[in-house]
Structure 1
Amino acid sequence: MQHVHYVTVSVLALWWIASLVFVTAENNTLTYPTKSGLLPWVDPDTPKDKYVYTSSRGRRWDLVMSDEFNVANRSFRPGDDHMWTSLEKPDGGMLEVRAQLPGVTDPESGNPDVALGENGKVQNTKYYPTWPGIWMLGNLGRAIFSASTNRMWPYSYNECDADVFDPTFQRISACDDNPGYGLNPNQGRGAPEIDVLEGGGLAISSSLQIAPGMPDDYRLFPVDTSTGDFSYCLYSYNCLTPGANYIDVPTSYYQQERGHKSWYQGLRYAANNYCDQNAEEKQDYDTVAASVKKGITENTCSVDTCPASGDVNADLSVIDGGKNHWGINSNGTCYPLMNSYMGSYLCDPDNTFSKCASPRNESTTPKSNAMSSFNYQMDAISSNWPIHFGAYTGFYDYQVEWVTGENGYVRWLLHGEPLFEVTTESVVNVPQNANKTNPKKIMIEEPLYVIFNVALSSSWGTTPPNPGQECRGDGKDPTTNVICDSFPMYMKIDYIRLYQDLGDDLEPDNYMQVGCDPASHPTKEWIDAHIDEYEDDDNKWEEVAGMAFCKTSDDCTIGGTLSRTALKTGKCVKQRCECLYHSWGGPRCTTAVSGSSSAGLMSRTFGPPIEAAIAVASVIILMTMAMVHVGSVTTAKKTKAVMAALEAERKVAAPVSTAPTSETSSNRGSHLATLSKDNYRQNFV
């Protein structure tokens, strides 16, 4: 995982350990509760009153992972931390992150936005020259390691229909009866993406990115430059080309040309009410709803004709049973706009297809055969919400709720107030023409990991002065000098907390799990077999045992019935867990570890048969007996007790857990491993 000056993220690790103890049918992984009861991935500095979160659906979600970032000078170099890995490399549940975005905000900077105050709507892009991001990516792809993401990003597709989509373009396809590497047969896999926030300047983008994308027949009409339109006019919504500004606007034009709806239906948008009100932006639900029902006649939208988002197919129902409607700017505050960027077309470098960004010229450029051939569209379901100045000067809670399954959804929130939501219904039930050429995706269900990063770009919405050159140029522009003097800029992160629904009444397709290698969506064997795609000489794979933050040694050793034995698996040293034996790992030294003699560390997994731990514990105690004669009888009794207790734990396969679950983790893992290919869409938050 990558840590780059982040704030409050509610997306960090959808795949940590959801219950205190889990057992998978594949590898008999055993993770025991700590003696103190502290969960493996929870920071002991997290306030106890933050251990429970109530979701937007009224469900109780419990804290399963957190990081308060309270330790000064903490190292995130590979191998130095139990949770994060930092990278400096050029780029080609419910997650809550409290963060402050980077910008030039000093009162002496000359930034006109300073005078607007905390709630003023940001207006001057150049004072925010970075591109911060808080996002999650499927575990089968490692960000900015392109070999791991080719034909993997951002697939969320589990169909096998060559008439709709060429299965060879998806590296792990539902058409494969025997994919190997511990993968499930006939299960389409990929590395989809959820962006908690991305970008800077005037607006923040919140999105999910999936593939395969919709064909051209379901997207905006292309800009016709012969009309005098600039090719990027769609981003300012002022194109003369019919149908190039907003989806299904004008209504009659789209109906006449296509005969079906376009893009994703029923998306939900809501206001950023931290902005000051603007009376000219206020909307009335009845007026807008009537206009949408009648149909939009112009090639553009106004405050009285379209929802505030510019998405005429958006949901306009009441928000969470209250008085406000989705899509209606009833307060006149900052309102998310449907993002005109709807995704990119992805190709291998040898591809000659015309839609590729840089098609290979067959007459001048020979084939490189660098990778398998592919070309496909990916979709970005995204909203751009205007940001207030306070986001650059103070900390705000950026949150995401993510639930998979038939009733699943992804909801983005700011300080608990909704901004944007995409439901499973919107992802699955997409518009179709007579030939049904629109690929049917699934709600994102892959194990995801969290990334914090700050980037610079020469072409995105916000750019530094003189990109690609000396920042100050000739040094004569005082504004440029002020901006350049403000570097380095930081995205500051206060904490990240992850919550999950641990109730015993979840729907059949709603399984909240934490971990990188669940039985329903395995990843470990694939990654191990393709490790060269996930590392380079400067960023090597590193195994970490222990290192979780602790208050006492009880936070770093096994508990439950085993806490009454002589076996101590770890201790607290300088507020970090330190494992006492190689046979115990995990962040709190409570996971039984095994390794293969033929492959060394790379084949080591957190969760082999428990006999390995028994053997190590026995050898240590027996060696002590051989060297120290005094107390040999007592030691032998302790050894027998340890072995008996461990063997009992192994047979029961359900050590004591404080997590309120209706079934043991063992049963859940076994059930997931035996699901039919028609029921792989499970819920991981």
Structure 2
Amino acid sequence: MTSPADPFATVDAHDTSSNAQYATASDTLKSPNSTTDSRTGLMSPNEDSRLLSPSTSPNMQEFGTRLSRRSPLNPSSPPVSSFNNSRQHPSSNASTSSRPASRSSSTHPFLASKHHNGSNDSDYSGPPFSPSTLSTMGLGGSTGLGLPLSSGGGSARGSMILYRLADDPATLRDSSFLQPPRMTAGMRDSVASSSGESILSYADSDSKYPSGVTTPRGLVPYVYDPTTDENDPPDDEDLLHDPDSKEFFTKHGKREFPWRGVLNVTVLCTLILGLLCLFVFYPVLSAYRNSERDKKIEGNLRINGTGQSPVLFQMPELIDPDTPHSARTRIGFDGHEYELVFSDEFNVDGRSFYPGDDPYWEAVDLWYHATGDLEWYDPQQVTTKDGALVITIDSVSQTQPGLTHGSTAPFTTAENHNLEYRSGMVQTWNKFCFTSGYIEVAVTFPGPNEDTQGYWPGAWTMGNLARPGYPATTEGMWPYTYDTCDVGTFPNQTRPDGSGPAAALYSNASRERYNNELSWLSGQRCSACSCPGSDHPGPRHDFGRGSPEIDIFEASRDKSRPPVGGTVSQSAQFAPFTHDYMIINTTTDHWQNFNPPLTRPNAFRGSAVQQSVSGVTRVPSDMFQGSPQKRFVTFGFEYWANPRNRDEGYVWWQVDDQQTHRVGARSVGPDPEEEGGAGIGPRLIPEEPMAIILNLGMSPNWQTIDLSTMIFPGEMLVDYVRVYQRRDAINIGCDPPDYPTKKYIEDHLEAYENPNMTEWRWERPRNRLLDGC
């Protein structure tokens, strides 16, 4: 038998033969100042009682202390005793006759004896609380204390035991004996809620989680009553989940528009749209905007398929950002508005134009033997310096290195392909082309002054189906601009039987070295007479194609007698040829000279390899390399070709911002054989995509060379190149749908990459008039 001083042992030693029942804590533990109402079984507040007061109930004080000390959550405490569950449950039929008739009579004898008899601790012989009371306090059943929870009595929704971390000891010292919070009227008083001197204390007056005086560190049990939480008002910060909140209703009782939900959906949609723009729409737009540029750099070994290039090279755009905004539009000679479609200001020093180094320009490495040049074109002779493109011509006679920025002298003829001069040529062939428009360059010429004689500076354009300096590609292509099926497509422009036309068999304007024959051309390779299935660039087999030429300028000393300084010829080259290379110039629509003091028609009208419509214009004397105050002078031409109305075509030139001369489409019209002509139809103002060429050469076939008037190194500087087109007729690219070139070039790539191939090695299309189909 355990000592009665131990409340747990006393519980076990309690008289089990009695049929007295435990009452709930709220039934048993009343306010110390209450009395019992016999009708209601409630204690009235005037009853004097010291029930459960620690000062008058040492056993209760001992119980609280031992309960805390013997918690299984306190590893240092010894194991606690447990109640004997052999006692009859209050709901059992076994002791029905001894159930109290009212709550007032259900008070345990132990409580009554303590209150009315004032017995001391040694007289204690019963448990201080009923099982339900212990359950309410969190000390029974699942607490691990060995105290059983009652399965009967009270509400069907009982309290539950939860665990929390123990309060900090300092907090416990400061707040363990604070007064508990006042409970709501709907809650019954209990030891935990009503006793001002409860064995449980509250660290926070609003806390639902009371702490024991000697609560150990770690997890401690506490009472959680769901009924209490359900009766609590909704949290202010969680009105979204309170459908009855007045926040959602107007003053008229109608539910407000769900602005919060609309805002949430709007934000989500905005985020999704932003991601789509970033990862879908923007890449598609970039690919569309860069498509033309990508076409021009296709096949460039130093630029990949997405337009990426080595970090040492900055990819230029079609329009150089350094081009002034004032120069990005112009009013054409024809009165139309033009806008800039391509420009290069050459403001980045040290650029390289070796194959693959630039997306638009490429310096060639070859001898231009078609015109009997004296120089070798070498890519190292072309660079940029001080905001200009620099093309330098050197001579083996130079012995001092570094005389100019672009000079590569000294060198020997053995180091220069057995040639005495070395210079440069750059071209946009198959990289950038345009069809109709205005092109302008600003340049200075080599030489000490305007009397220099021997250089051949040039800026010109040529159809993309032929590549300058690659003679196999020019055979049968240059300078044809013809779309008629007749004798003009034949070799030498004569019938196979030699019967004429007479104007082609003999021409007074031709030269003796050509036997005074009108034409020595091999015939138009891809003519309107081509048979179906022929090797033809398209878009149809019966569509005449070629590679015409329009010159911005070709410079020389004035060839008239006496010479009057430097001049430029500005020409358009055509094939086939009219009799004696004549043009029609009866009206200003055919031919017009805008500045007779400076410009005159060129006496050279052609030869057996070309027909030229040209004007010669004097140039300013302060644009030469040795000029004291050298300046850039502009040269350019505007041309228009309309396949739907070919008679409205024209070419219009200017020098130093002054219009010089104009040639109209009708000036190169048909030349009927019955009228003494060559029996050909009209030549066309070029409709082919045109590439740009800049070069500095030397040739006795161009002019007599006078070395005494020349200096080496000689430099031709180009300040800029700009191309404009009508706003409503933008047409750039080397492979337009109506005049394709890409596939044809790819099918005959060897000819376009080998400058030593002088003849076309593939079968030419059959001519239905000449060979039959």
Specify the structure having the higher radius of gyration (Cα): 2
TM range (shorter): 0.3 to 0.5
Q: Give the alignment's TM-score, normalised by structure 1.
A: 0.46
- Structure with bigger RCO (C-alpha 8 Å, 6+ apart): 1
TM-score (norm 2): 0.41
